[in-house]
Structure 1
Amino acid sequence: MTAAAATTTDIFRPALHYSTGGTWLNDPNGLIFHDGAYHLYYQNNPFGSEHANLSWGHATSTDLVSWTDHPVAIVCDENEDIFSGSIVFDRQNTSGFGKDGTAPLVAIYTSAYKPGSMLEGIQAQSLAYSLDGGYTWSKYAENPVLDRRSADFRDPKVFRYEGDTGSYWVMVAVEAQDFQVLLYKSRDLRNWEYLSTFGPANATGGIWECPDLFPLPIDGDPENVKWVLTVNLNPGGPNGGSAGQYFVGDFDGATFTSATTVTEGLQDPDRLGEYQWLDWGRDYYAAVSFSDAPEGRRLMIAWMNNWQYVNELPTASWRSPMSLVRELTLQTIGGETHLVQQPVGDWAAVSASVSNFNLPETTIPAGTTILDGAAGTVQRIDISWTPGAAEEFGVVVRGGGSQGTRIGIRPAEGTMVVDRRESGHTDFHEAFASIDTAPIRLVEGQYQLTLFVDRCSVEVFAQGGQVTMTELVFPSLTSNDVSLYSVGGSTTLNSLHITQYA
């Protein structure tokens, strides 16, 4: 369901983010661009708003903002839940599932076998295939195709590898409890050969899930390519609960070698801030990328939630939105290689009316200033500051009375903060009311933020996407003010532009 209007009974339904009509949603999976459409599959309970009956829901989009719902794609049954996985376009019909010249889409997913089944308690990898572009699916009769007799072997991400060692399919999956990413290869998607294991490394404060592995050029140079391994963990994030981390290194067709590992083995709690995080906020988890995105772009989406409090969210029958889609690039920053993330989408498509608010360069005195004419519940805010004497400065969104979510900069600390302690409805879980932080560097004497404010969330892209923070918030419907604030002195606002979508 997309761009659904807020009502008195469902005021948190997002406008810019995908959410289901009235059921449970968690990890995105099976992401692929095919026949002119982006296909978003996701963990879904077709029968309710609880984490149960896990199947693959399905939606498609041409602009990555407006989504069309489709019937449940791959449904659980009496033997198995359908856990996360991926989809590939088997152009050469290596699997043999193609028919009458039609190459298949092949889904590689985790079968979580239920009590009473022959593989009770086991998680193993299985196949399903589609001959109509991903709308209807048939399970392979000889599933599972990869079984380690493990209770926590899951979340296969499969891609086609073309390199010096040949052409074949590569799978990355996790042994969740062991903090390991396992790599396998296959010629036909049915028979798999073990390649190597990566981990434990860096953040190991919770189980590892939903890995991804892909190449990216550094600074856009096609002659200088590195591989990025992402892996999500729960709990153990930099501000608590669920999160995703990444490693940059090399992949030779068999082994991934990280050049950015800080801690071998189990993590050092004192070094948590040194690890490379996909997002420093509380609500960006299970992030994976689309296969076959146009022009070789690497596009990623995540589940916008945290396992700490997901079951207590104050929404209606629906549970959880997805994040915005982001384009990932590798850039050299401070002599080191980092992922940079930029939001992608035609957000104007969600609204029949778009308006703008601008504020030129001005000095922001100590205190809080409400911006007349800037109020809104669905907004993009682009803002730039030059730090002055202030100890902290920033913007408050979805404000009203004592409510508001504060996004600020503390220059002396080199820290960005998102404070949602007074963001609205916060008492549904003890872990929700939080003040979260991320490191931020001054760039050419300025701090620049792009904020996407929706009816139940704030996504922050700082310094051109060098740092991101994603946070759920549940404000009152009437809390829609935008304010600027400065603490301990004044600061210089270089520019402010707000696009109102609703």
Structure 2
Amino acid sequence: MSERNDRNDPHDRNTPRLHVRPAAGQWCNDPNGPLFHDGRYHLFFQHNPARPVWGDIHWGHASSPDLMTWTDHGIALTPTPGSRDELGAWSGCAVVEDGVPTAVYTGMDRTDGIGSVMLARAADEAITTLKAEPEPVVPGPPPGLDLLAFRDPYLFSYEGQRWAVIGAGHRGAPGAGGRPDVLLYRVDSLTEWTYAGSLLDAAHPLAARHAAPADAWECPALLPTGDGRWILLLSLWAADITYSTTYLIGELAPSAAGLTFVPSSGGMLDHGRDLYAATALVEDDRTLLWGWSWESRTEEESVAAGWAGCLSHPREIGVHADGTVRLAPARELAGLRGAELTVGDALPAAYEIELDAVVGHPDSEVELRLGDTVALRLNPTRGLATLDRTNAAATSHHPLPRTARVTAVVPGGTRARLRVLVDGPLVEVFVDERAMLTEKVHPAPEGVIGVGVVRGAAEVRVSGWELG
């Protein structure tokens, strides 16, 4: 659970208490720079310390020895007046260079979405403060490109060479929006960056199919799968609105300037509406993933509550033996399980439920009810998992008003499994380790656990635990 100096009531179901968010409340968005250093996981995040709305972006910081218990360390990186990050220390990654944890982030000193790449080095072993270098290592976009977005550096290594990707969007004709792109840099040292062209843009048919429409791709992250392929994460940004995050699976190939990404498949990273700007930590035997979970309530309601946004639980991302994406809760999260729950028990503030279904007739449907407001319906034959929040409709303002239901699609069969983790209003659903649905439900589900076969015939097994 989170160690906090504010709301840490184990009975509070209106505020996540197991997830990383600022201890002082206010605003939280993109996860940044996950690291494992000196026996602890470190996770940074975009944070406005003054109000629960976006603006005046700093980096907050939390750490954990085990991915379960998080300690908040307050603000790690503050914008410097008169510098290239005076309008915000925006998203990026982190590496350990010569033993020193170092943030590689977007400095903002203009209001048009065009940033610079900056470095900030840990000033102490606990990384309580990141001290920014005075000059950027990449002062802005390459000459000759007319961009409407240039931000969010992410570093990776390929065949012994370090590279970086940066999210971008090319300005289109008036009224035509933009054309998203992932720009590539060769990184010979943290202070020596060379532009190496485009890694992938929206002209590729698979990118156009799975990562469009968008004006820019934010928060690109390139992750090795261990079998020679790579997963490219892209967050879709259009007309100043954040929408959703997608993934592409493919291979890296040499190009005239550096590398190109050749996708072979792709899809939605999360089929819910409350996960964006995912980033990752690549370990020896797995890759950990975090995303930003925003609110499904209005800004006015967030201001009244005193907080907005948190990070997701850590998730593992990779590929199955058949080459499709694998998505699962981090294995350590099983350590949060406490008292067992069963059907008919009252929902605690934080809990986990596993449901296994084997159908006896085609098109049979099973339903897991979280109190009276959220229902999860599973149709193994068709490979459909639907989250229905009809009785807890979202109040958030958005160009696309939310529907009451959201559905994930996985390969069909005779059996299926749901793994559901709930922390206050945050509902995270995993379907056969092949799809995720993340939704913030305000007010948080309350009532009892209900399970039923609502159509056809099925054998259902349910296990549950209070988390904390």
Q: Provide the C-alpha distance between the structure 2 equivalents of 1:350 and 1:255, rounded to a whole number of angstroms.
A: 42
- Pick aligned residue for 1:13 from 12, 15, 18: 15
Bigger shift: residues 28-37 or 405-414: 405-414
Q: Provide the C-alpha distance between the structure 2 equivalents of 1:228 and 1:339, rounded to a whole number of angstroms.
A: 9
Q: Does 1:290 align with 2:260?
A: no
Q: Deviations over 1:127-178 (max 9, x none)?
A: 22225243222221222534117551000001344x2xxx443111111443
Larger strand proportion, structure 1 or 2?
2
Structure 2: gaps spanning 5 or more residues: 170-177
Task: Please state whether the residue corresponding to 2:267 is helix, strand or coil.
Answer: coil
Deviation of residue 256 (structure 1)? 3.1
Q: Does 1:339 align with 2:339?
A: no
Q: Name 1:199's counterpart in structure 2.
A: 201
Bigger shift: residues 34-43 or 140-149: 140-149
Residue 472 of structure 1 aligns to which amino acid in structure 2? K
Q: Provide the C-alpha distance between the structure 1 equivalents of 2:379 and 2:405, rounded to a whole number of angstroms.
A: 13
Q: Provide the C-alpha distance between the structure 2 equivalents of 1:32 and 1:156, rounded to a whole number of angstroms.
A: 15
Q: Provide the C-alpha distance between the structure 1 equivalents of 2:427 and 2:15, rounded to a whole number of angstroms.
A: 13
Q: Does 1:415 align with 2:384?
A: yes
Q: Provide the C-alpha distance between the structure 2 equivalents of 1:140 and 1:448, rounded to a whole number of angstroms.
A: 49
Q: Name 1:110's counterpart in structure 2.
A: 106
Q: Name 1:441's counterpart in structure 2.
A: 411
Q: Provide the C-alpha distance between the structure 1 equivalents of 2:268 and 2:394, rounded to a whole number of angstroms.
A: 25
Task: Please state whether the residue corresponding to 1:179 is helix, strand or coil.
Answer: strand
Q: Provide the C-alpha distance between the structure 2 equivalents of 1:142 and 1:259, rounded to a whole number of angstroms.
A: 36
Q: Provide the C-alpha distance between the structure 1 equivalents of 2:109 and 2:130, rounded to a whole number of angstroms.
A: 19
Q: Provide the C-alpha distance between the structure 2 equivalents of 1:290 and 1:412, rounded to a whole number of angstroms.
A: 35
Q: Deviations over 1:313-333 (max 9, x none)?
A: 557211112111011221133
Q: Does 1:2 align with 2:2?
A: yes
Residue 56 of structure 2 aligns to which amino acid in structure 1? N
Preserved CA contact (<8 Å) 1:416 1:439:
yes
Bigger shift: residues 176-185 or 26-35: 176-185
Deviation of residue 392 (structure 1)? 2.8
Preserved CA contact (<8 Å) 2:298 2:397:
no
Q: Percent identity?
A: 28
Residue 82 of structure 1 aligns to which amino acid in structure 2? A
- Pick aligned residue for 1:311 from 299, 317, 324: 299
Distance 1:24 1:71, change over 3 A: same
Preserved CA contact (<8 Å) 1:16 1:350:
no
Distance 1:485 1:320, change over 3 A: same
Deviation of residue 429 (structure 1)? 4.4
Q: Provide the C-alpha distance between the structure 1 equivalents of 2:316 and 2:217, rounded to a whole number of angstroms.
A: 23
- Pick aligned residue for 1:379 from 333, 351, 357: 351
Deviation of residue 297 (structure 1)? 2.2
Distance 1:490 1:38, change over 3 A: same
Q: Name 2:458's counterpart in structure 1.
A: 491
Distance 1:379 1:51, change over 3 A: same
Return the TM-score normalized by structure 2: 0.84
Residue 105 of structure 1 aligns to which amino acid in structure 2? P
Q: Does 1:246 align with 2:255?
A: no
Q: Provide the C-alpha distance between the structure 2 equivalents of 1:454 and 1:183, rounded to a whole number of angstroms.
A: 38
Q: Does 1:171 align with 2:164?
A: yes
Q: Does 1:142 align with 2:147?
A: no
Q: Deviations over 1:324-354 (max 9, x none)?
A: 1011221133xxx222012115447668xx2
Q: Name 1:473's counterpart in structure 2.
A: 441
Preserved CA contact (<8 Å) 1:28 1:286:
yes
Task: Please state whether the residue corresponding to 2:452 is helix, strand or coil.
Answer: strand
Q: Name 1:266's counterpart in structure 2.
A: none
Distance 1:199 1:411, change over 3 A: same
Return the TM-score normalized by structure 1: 0.78
Deviation of residue 491 (structure 1)? 2.7
Residue 442 of structure 2 aligns to which amino acid in structure 1? F
Q: Provide the C-alpha distance between the structure 2 equivalents of 1:7 and 1:449, rounded to a whole number of angstroms.
A: 25
Task: Please state whether the residue corresponding to 1:147 is helix, strand or coil.
Answer: coil
Q: Name 1:257's counterpart in structure 2.
A: 261
Q: Deviations over 1:207-229 (max 9, x none)?
A: 31101112112xxxxxx321221
- Pick aligned residue for 1:126 from 90, 93, 118: 118
Q: Deviations over 1:171-195 (max 9, x none)?
A: 1111144311111012122231122
Distance 1:312 1:285, change over 3 A: farther
Task: Please state whether the residue corresponding to 2:52 is helix, strand or coil.
Answer: coil
Preserved CA contact (<8 Å) 2:113 2:149:
no
Distance 1:153 1:476, change over 3 A: closer
Preserved CA contact (<8 Å) 2:91 2:106:
yes
Q: Name 1:97's counterpart in structure 2.
A: none
Deviation of residue 412 (structure 1)? 5.5
